[in-house]
Amino acid sequence: MTSPRPTTTLWRPTGPKELALVRELNWRAWPPRLPEQPIFYPVLNEDYAVRIARDWNVKYDGAGFVTRFEVESDFVSRYPVQRAGGETILELWVPAEELDEFNAYIVGAIQVVHEFR
């Protein structure tokens, strides 16, 4: 599915539990955050997502996945880029209460592009 509007590519490192919930949502949305997760944070580059999935998710969840998805650029521009470390460690911080609206602007399917075990 393509959008007549420009899109921005985002990545999300995730563990097996969150990925199972994305699958249940037909690869079209992210599940609601848990009470201890006030922010949904997709990242702006694949390399950073790979590092989190490989080095953190595998250690704590036994597996890590990198997903890629598109969001309408006009919508996603409301979230300022957050620098969470070095120059390439860039994230968007989406408040949990805005995730349903964020999901409505995802264009196409969420895709798994890397898997680590």
pLDDT digits (tens, 9 = 90+) for 82-97: 998 888 899 999 999 9
pLDDT at 13: 97
pLDDT at 24: 98
Q: State CA 57 to chain mean position distance.
A: 14
- CATH code of 7-116, in short, is 3.20.170
Q: Mean pLDDT over residues 28-47, rounded?
A: 96
Mean pLDDT of the chain: 95
Structure tokens belonging to residue 26: 């037909």
pLDDT at 1: 53
pLDDT at 4: 81
pLDDT at 2: 56
The H or E element spanning position 60 is helix 58-61
- Extents of the domains making up the chain: 7-116
